Structure 1
Amino acid sequence: MVSHSLHTILVACFLATAALTHQTQINTTCSENSTRLHLSDPPYENYFYSDCHSSSHVVITSPLSTSNLRVIGPRLLIAWPAGNSGIVSFFNAENGQNGTLSIKLENSTSTGETLDPIYIPRRSHYTGSKDWDPIVGVSGYINFNSSAVLTVPILGSIRTIRDFTEGPSIVYPAVQEAVRFSQEEHGRVSLSRTWFDNVTTASLQFTPINGSNAVEMRNGANTTLLFGKGTYQFNASFNYPQLDQLSPQEVLNNASQSLIEQNPDPTISLSFLSYTDKLLAGTWRFLTYFGRDSMISLLLLQPILSAGPNSSIEAVLSAVLERVNRTDGSVCHEEVIGDYATWLNLQKHVSSTAPGCDYKMVDTDLLLPVVLRSYLVDTEVGRNRSEAFLNTTASFLVSNAGLTYAELAQFTAQKIMNITAAFAAPCGQTKENLIHLKDGEVVGQWRDSEVGIGGGRIPYDVNTAMVPAALRAIAALSRAGLFPEHTEWDETATRYADVWEDETLGFFEVRVEREEALELVRNYVNESSFPGPVNTSSITSDVRFYGLALDGTSNQSLVRIMNTDDCYRLFLLNPTNQSQLTSFLDQAAEHILQPFPIGLSNPVGLFIANPAYGGNPIYAKSFTREAYHGIVVWSWQLAMMAEGVARQLERCSEPEVPDFCTNTPLHTKVLSAYNHLWDLIDNNQAQLSSEVWSWKYQDEDFHVEPLGAFGATESDVRQLWSLTFLAVRRKQF
């Protein structure tokens, strides 16, 4: 922390120096070329800029004539990976008429680019002994088609911005009261806010150009800015330690370098989310470490990722291990860093910038042994690196200082062995001994919205797939000698895995007789006003599937939602219970092939949820095309489902052939499901790299529609685990 007087001087110096950038771009040449990318996802226009100094994502939101104007308005947003930081400005038309204001970025008349970098080196902007971080950011030109008012600016943390945009639009007074407005020469106005660390300052300036009116500052209960019709240069910058980005060449292994030229958009996007100490979940909303996202992405992308020291694979593994909770072995779901971390610390009356972690999930722990095995045991590079890698000493969390990665990995493995023992014990196969969400939490796995698993407490994917996969991984790691203090885990974890793999599916099985299924689907169509074809003629027998969870809302002992989470079991396990495997594959293939609302298939992809067989109106109301985990499509679920079905089909070429391979009708059905799924994937290439998308029914057909078109929860234009189709490819069987 710095003194108040010095802090005042620093802010003044910051603004004075940053203001120079509207006249002269101060930059130090990078040894490599900068990277730029423009992604159009109306009403959102996304612009990326990266160089050796910093990375920025700029989002311009300009509503369409079809946009929901209650939730979508003109907006300029700048997101920075460093510190999960950002700035957002919300605009209204001065005339007060929603839908009349349109904004866009224009190219610079001097450089011809949409975005240009801001870089002011260390020490050149402050005096004193401290080696201050450089000022970095981006500059661009924003055009208004009519007079506009900047109503709400937020400067500091992406998490703060996310809370505002997806919550009840409430700003934190401590954040907003620190925003300083300054009217300057040439009609320019500056906004700045010093973070809670009293060191970092985020700044945003607007300068009129090409004869546009001066920016007018209006003071009242809240300060607002008035812009005339025309173009204004904006400079967005901050001084905070930057991350060391991995270039596309560094992210990919040698055998996959050709992807850079073949697939420039996803490889540039992957690079934007990849850094030497972690991979980020997505942009703009999740521009930081998320454990589950990182590990699922690693499992799907591993064939093309770089391995060894300073590689993308080890960046994922080290990030997860660094954040393990040493007290109980829990794996961090989401890190809390930057300004938001300091603010949370202050709520606890602690003056500290130390990062924190969210440990509320129950699935993230189970993925850690799986990814460790996939690298340290299953690959030659990993086996050669295992000793050096696991002897690395943790440094990210103060509480883990002095611990090695091997010790942290063992904490998690020990936790998994402890929590799975009761169910694996003789006569222990009861609902009570399954894995539940943590007390007081309403989420705990990837469907982590309020109604994601129908209020359930015992998730299907965790218990039937992730637990046995984690146990088999622990056994493999033990056999490889990576848990020398627990050599017994080879046998014990294998025994536990056998029980969990064979005995959990029955708890989640749903069987609906044909006549009841027909009635349920008709009722659902009426309750939901589903506009498309109903296809009830496709229901020719009883309907079987595995529900999302146990102990759901409205006294539902089993959440009867058909879903895509079968992909976990297909991808992570190679079951040997032949009758169970045959039955499981039959129903999984059926759901891929059958059109919604009978199954999960739709021209826009596979819906991750089908509430038609729920038997309760609450499901039709909760699982909708507007819901984050409703009747929508998630890219990574398509990828894992495709790769999972492929892995099962590949077993038909192994020495021990599963029974379904010689069951010609079933094998044909599974193969048909695989090819149908890939036809859907190929027909939706345009949105595969985005996080999630919804649909509309128009002109007697289904069309892709951004999820953000319906509500406040918008989809990330690029999500780490949605880039996995770089590695997941269609196979010929």
Structure 2
Amino acid sequence: MMYLGGLVQLILSALLGAAAADTACSNAPSRLHLSDPPYDNYLYSDCHSSTHVVVTSPLKTSNLKVIGPRLLIAWPSGNSGAAAIFVPEDGSTGTLAIKLDKSETGNEIEGIYVQDPLEYGVFGWVNFNSSARLTIPILGSIRTIRDYTEGGNVLEPTIQDGIVTTQGPNGSASYCRTWFDHTTTTCLMFAPTNGAAPIRINKGPKWTMTFGAGTYLFNAVFNYPQMKQLLPAEVLNSASRSLIQSNEDQTTSLSFLSYSDKLLAGTWRFLTYFGRDSMITLLLMQPVLSEGKGGAIEAVIGAALERVNNTDGSACHEEVIGDYATFTHKQAGIASNDPLCDYKMVDTDYFLPIVLKNYLVDTATGKSRTSDFLSTKATFLKENNGLTYKTLAEMTTNKILAATAPFAKDGGQKKENLIKLKTGQPVGQWRDSANGLGGGRIPYDVNTALVPAALRAIAQLSKSGLFPDHAWWGTFAEAYASVWEDKTLSFFEVTVEKSKAISDVQSYVSQSKFSGPSNTGNIAADVTFHGLALNDSNNQAIVRVMNTDDCFRHFLLNTTDQKQLSSFLDQTAEHILQPFPVGLSTDVGLFVANPAYGENDAYISDFTNSGYHGTVVWGWQLAMMAAGLSRQLGRCSGANMPGKISRPQIILSVYAAS
């Protein structure tokens, strides 16, 4: 109760006008308000901690079965947070509106840092337009909150049963939960202000809280160790710091996701390490990111190496940390708080040598840092403790060479020797939703772009002396790369005769009830594209879905088969210029998938504008397509530097928007 008493004292101190945040920070807090109704997002960072607060207040046009009043607090450290789900106490669904009020300082969010007992967090003032009931508190892991909001309202009883509800003084009330580590505690507290009614606790199987109309102080704190955030000037290199003024929102967002030991995937729903996402970010943004020890580039590459599986060289897709890691261990009958890694993806491995080469071989800073960086010893995973980054890089390299050898050998250019999803896994690359590959098992992007690009990178790393104990790797990798570059595209090629293409598009428009024009008058010849994958669940040889994954090959490779390259560039240009549903172009960008030529009703129902990888736009795919085509056009003038980007501020803007 002493811990709870200290937290209640924080509330009372704030109510009396005392400062709840430590003032020792030398820099003013970083704040960003992004409004996208029904969501209001507030990013707050200071020298102690970082917090994302999301207020959801449904609009009249909102789907009230999905969107309800909600206050959510997300912390990068520990991939943790707190959520409060509200319903109207009086009146019908859709009548309750919530918002944050500004304090006397003009800010909606203020920071909390207390040394004894140690607490980090934020406080602010939430306003209800009418009486409200807090029906569901969720405290602990972002994964737990996401499982509820996106997993069909699933709540784990052993997590929820740990929440303690307490009535405090002056009409205040709190929810607190100690994590499975028996050390960390998350608390969410409320107290009435400006004459608002005292909070009433409703006892029962699930204790709820009732609030009156008016404004309540809320206070969200936890005591988990914090990470070191990189400020905008630390994320960007010196040549790109003008972006801090010209693209303030984007650079503030980038900083919020950047830490000295890793970059995080998007907030709030993920807010932890994802290997593929981090390395794609690096590939697109390397011209503007900081180099050297403590910089953003080494944070990305170091995080990937730290998390390599030392049994087979696989690169980590997603880490599991904090409360959810302890919970996962507990489910397996293990008492441990150690982090875990997910290794189910097949594409992440191939990004690692590419980013290593782009930094350690292609930049002056990287060359000067090679010895010190690769001699760094891993500390994140217990099983990797003491292994050097060089050793871990060699493990992944060895895995890639072994996996790609069968296809590269004489007579080995067969479908069965291409890279497949792992046995028992329905996903394995960036289109990692249930229907993202249309049931395919051999992904187009991995085989035609990532594999040969990784092999080219391994060859250059070897030639630069990075693998002295494996001098032959460079020769083998170079030879393998040529075969994978030249001999994989044909496996995925789809050609639809003109009259059939017109019929397919018209049929798609009819079956999908697409409200726009068919644009079939634009089809002047046979339509050629490369399908998403091979071997789908309906036993078709190719998943006949037009897509944007051409961008990987344009961005990552300088192929030498000129006839093939010309044809490939031509068909890509045709797709991105032709309006949907003939091609991929729309007023808001390129759709990442077009199922019109699929000859499969399932594709029409799976690849929709509500599908995660359906007829939707992904910002980074737009950026990679633009950068890839720029690279290929640059080869005409000799400007063939790998990954060269002429306007990094555009890439930064697209990244932040995605």
TM-score by length of 2: 0.96
Secondary structure of 1:389's aligned partner: helix
1:643-674 deviation line (CA, Å, top 9, x unaligned) = 000000000002999xxxxxxxxxxxxxxxx9
- Residue 19 of structure 1: CA displacement? 4.1
- Please tell me whether residue 548 in structure 1 is matched to residue 532 in structure 2: yes
2:587 to 595, 603, 623: 603
Whether the 8 Å CA contact 2:254–2:656 is kept in 1: the answer is no
- Please tell me whether residue 71 in structure 1 is matched to residue 66 in structure 2: yes
- Please tell me whether residue 36 in structure 1 is matched to residue 20 in structure 2: no
Which residue of structure 2 aligns with residue 254 of structure 1?
A: 238
Structure 1: gaps (5+ residues): 1-8, 126-133, 658-673, 692-733
- Residue 637 of structure 1: CA displacement? 0.3
- Please tell me whether residue 480 in structure 1 is matched to residue 464 in structure 2: yes
Change (3 A) 1:317 1:686: closer
Cα distance in 2 for residues equivalent to 1:231 and 1:531: 45
- Residue 689 of structure 1: CA displacement? 2.6
Whether the 8 Å CA contact 1:21–1:235 is kept in 2: the answer is no
For 1:62, the aligned partner's letter is S
Cα distance in 1 for residues equivalent to 2:275 and 2:654: 24
Whether the 8 Å CA contact 1:11–1:201 is kept in 2: the answer is no
Secondary structure of 1:689's aligned partner: helix
Cα distance in 2 for residues equivalent to 1:394 and 1:420: 27
Cα distance in 2 for residues equivalent to 1:516 and 1:157: 51
Whether the 8 Å CA contact 2:123–2:218 is kept in 1: the answer is yes
Which residue of structure 1 aligns with residue 452 of structure 2?
A: 468
Task: Describe how 1:399-414 pairs up with structure 2 within 5 A.
Answer: 399-414=383-398
1:44-87 deviation line (CA, Å, top 9, x unaligned) = 11001000000000001111111111111111110000000011
Secondary structure of 2:138's aligned partner: strand
- Residue 97 of structure 1: CA displacement? 1.7
Secondary structure of 1:633's aligned partner: coil
1:8-66 deviation line (CA, Å, top 9, x unaligned) = x6644554554445433333220111100001112111001000000000001111111
1:300-350 deviation line (CA, Å, top 9, x unaligned) = 111011101111111111111000001000000000000000111111222
For 1:479, the aligned partner's letter is K
Cα distance in 1 for residues equivalent to 2:623 and 2:487: 27
Task: Describe how 1:241-640 pairs up with structure 2 within 5 A.
Answer: 241-640=225-624
Cα distance in 2 for residues equivalent to 1:686 and 1:607: 19
Task: Describe how 1:118-267 pairs up with structure 2 within 5 A.
Answer: 118-121=112-115, 124-125=116-117, 134-267=118-251
For 2:184, the aligned partner's letter is T
Cα distance in 2 for residues equivalent to 1:169 and 1:16: 30
Which residue of structure 2 aligns with residue 690 of structure 1?
A: 657
1:195-245 deviation line (CA, Å, top 9, x unaligned) = 001111000011111111111111122111111111111000100100100
Change (3 A) 1:224 1:686: farther
2:40 to 34, 45, 49: 45
- Residue 184 of structure 1: CA displacement? 1.2
Secondary structure of 2:529's aligned partner: strand
Whether the 8 Å CA contact 2:543–2:598 is kept in 1: the answer is yes
Which residue of structure 2 aligns with residue 25 of structure 1?
A: 19
Whether the 8 Å CA contact 2:528–2:571 is kept in 1: the answer is yes
Secondary structure of 1:142's aligned partner: strand
Cα distance in 2 for residues equivalent to 1:569 and 1:195: 45
2:57 to 34, 52, 62: 62
- Residue 543 of structure 1: CA displacement? 0.5
Cα distance in 2 for residues equivalent to 1:551 and 1:643: 30
Which residue of structure 2 aligns with residue 706 of structure 1?
A: none
Structure 2: gaps (5+ residues): none
Secondary structure of 2:657's aligned partner: coil
1:509-568 deviation line (CA, Å, top 9, x unaligned) = 110001111111111111110001211100110001000011112222211110000000
- Residue 408 of structure 1: CA displacement? 0.2
Whether the 8 Å CA contact 2:631–2:640 is kept in 1: the answer is no
Whether the 8 Å CA contact 2:250–2:652 is kept in 1: the answer is no
1:683-719 deviation line (CA, Å, top 9, x unaligned) = x99986333xxxxxxxxxxxxxxxxxxxxxxxxxxxx
Cα distance in 1 for residues equivalent to 2:563 and 2:9: 72
Change (3 A) 1:687 1:259: closer
Cα distance in 2 for residues equivalent to 1:19 and 1:40: 27
For 2:74, the aligned partner's letter is A
Secondary structure of 1:612's aligned partner: helix
Whether the 8 Å CA contact 2:77–2:225 is kept in 1: the answer is yes
Cα distance in 2 for residues equivalent to 1:686 and 1:319: 24
Whether the 8 Å CA contact 1:149–1:225 is kept in 2: the answer is yes
Whether the 8 Å CA contact 1:535–1:598 is kept in 2: the answer is yes
For 1:601, the aligned partner's letter is S
For 2:320, the aligned partner's letter is V
Cα distance in 2 for residues equivalent to 1:439 and 1:32: 51
Secondary structure of 2:182's aligned partner: coil
Whether the 8 Å CA contact 2:230–2:259 is kept in 1: the answer is yes
RMSD after superposition: 1.9
TM-score by length of 1: 0.87
- Please tell me whether residue 105 in structure 1 is matched to residue 100 in structure 2: yes
1:423-443 deviation line (CA, Å, top 9, x unaligned) = 001110111100000011111
Whether the 8 Å CA contact 1:609–1:629 is kept in 2: the answer is yes
For 2:400, the aligned partner's letter is I
Cα distance in 1 for residues equivalent to 2:479 and 2:654: 42
- Residue 102 of structure 1: CA displacement? 1.0
- Residue 363 of structure 1: CA displacement? 0.3
Secondary structure of 1:638's aligned partner: helix
Secondary structure of 1:155's aligned partner: strand
Bigger RCO (CA 8 Å, 6+ sep) = 1
Cα distance in 2 for residues equivalent to 1:686 and 1:640: 13
Cα distance in 2 for residues equivalent to 1:17 and 1:387: 52
For 1:88, the aligned partner's letter is A
Cα distance in 1 for residues equivalent to 2:66 and 2:537: 28
Cα distance in 1 for residues equivalent to 2:400 and 2:267: 32
Change (3 A) 1:401 1:598: same
1:426-476 deviation line (CA, Å, top 9, x unaligned) = 110111100000011111000110001111100000000000000000000
Whether the 8 Å CA contact 1:330–1:359 is kept in 2: the answer is yes
Cα distance in 1 for residues equivalent to 2:604 and 2:72: 34
- Residue 352 of structure 1: CA displacement? 1.2
Whether the 8 Å CA contact 1:192–1:203 is kept in 2: the answer is yes
Percent identity among equivalent residues? 60
Secondary structure of 2:217's aligned partner: strand
For 1:68, the aligned partner's letter is N
1:95 to 67, 90, 97: 90
Secondary structure of 1:33's aligned partner: coil
Cα distance in 1 for residues equivalent to 2:358 and 2:345: 22
Cα distance in 1 for residues equivalent to 2:222 and 2:278: 27
Change (3 A) 1:338 1:14: farther
Change (3 A) 1:118 1:548: same
Change (3 A) 1:19 1:211: closer
- Residue 100 of structure 1: CA displacement? 1.2
Secondary structure of 1:92's aligned partner: strand
Cα distance in 1 for residues equivalent to 2:343 and 2:495: 35
Whether the 8 Å CA contact 1:571–1:640 is kept in 2: the answer is yes
